[in-house]
Structure 1
């Protein structure tokens, strides 16, 4: 049986987002996730196939192929529930109303470049991590 990986689309030039990818990579002990920058050819193809308007969604996107896709706080919490350690306990926050969770998410998203900075280009994965990126 072929393993279907969940796909995380992230802002490839955002330092906070790149840090989040590194954080997830270290805690993805079950090899659940694959990654693509939103700006990449693969990322643009995946959002186009799902009719996701990335001009109006300033967010990380989690795609569960054949199931659904999630954005903003829901994506972040669905990712966390698949991580090793105590991070999967974050999924209890999914019980809070999404509109409330997204107030916090949107505040951080709006300020991420100011607080964490921005790269000129998307990160290039090391050869050891290349298989994790689409």
Structure 2
């Protein structure tokens, strides 16, 4: 993820997409990850974030571009201001903009990133054991998804 700013724009394998707002890539086959994506869509009152499942053509291309396995994504990925953030840093950056109680996740930065990410990795390894709906269960029609879900 140490690519230069907006490096995906120069990668012919990445389909063009609007990158003027943060984009969250998530595992659409994981109930935990899809639940988080639905939380972002419902709690993001400013409509700041766009989302795309890793299983979409755009999601796959961006994961590969950043050296991550789209077949078994080990992290969500936040693309913001031309940079990629994964694991706890990406999650904290997203959650801190969703209002209370999610905003309190900013306190996790008091924990060293190596320790935070080790816990994240343990949860990520077990995430598909959590039963539940997958991304195909989109939020209800009361939530306007225009310009918010890419892929």
Moved over 4 A (4+): 124-127
1:52 deviates by: 2.5
Query: Does 2:38 match 1:25?
Result: no
Moved more, 73-82 or 123-132: 123-132
Give the deviation of 1:41 after TM superposition.
0.5
How far apart are 1:76 and its partner, in Å?
0.9
Q: Which residues of 2 match residues 1-134 of structure 1 at below 5 A?
A: 4-49=20-65, 51-54=66-69, 58-66=74-82, 68-116=83-131, 119=134, 122-123=135-136, 125=138, 128-134=144-150
Structure 1, unaligned runs of 5 or more:
none
TM-score (norm 1): 0.82
After superposition, the CA RMSD in angstroms is 2.4
C-alpha contact 1:29 1:83 (8 A) present in aligned 2: yes
Q: Normalized against structure 2, the TM-score is what?
A: 0.73
- Asked whether the equivalents of residues 27 and 85 of structure 1 are also in contact (C-alpha less than 8 Å), the reply is no
Higher helix share: 1
- The 2-side partners of 1:57 and 1:17 are apart by 11
Structure 2: gaps spanning 5 or more residues:
1-17
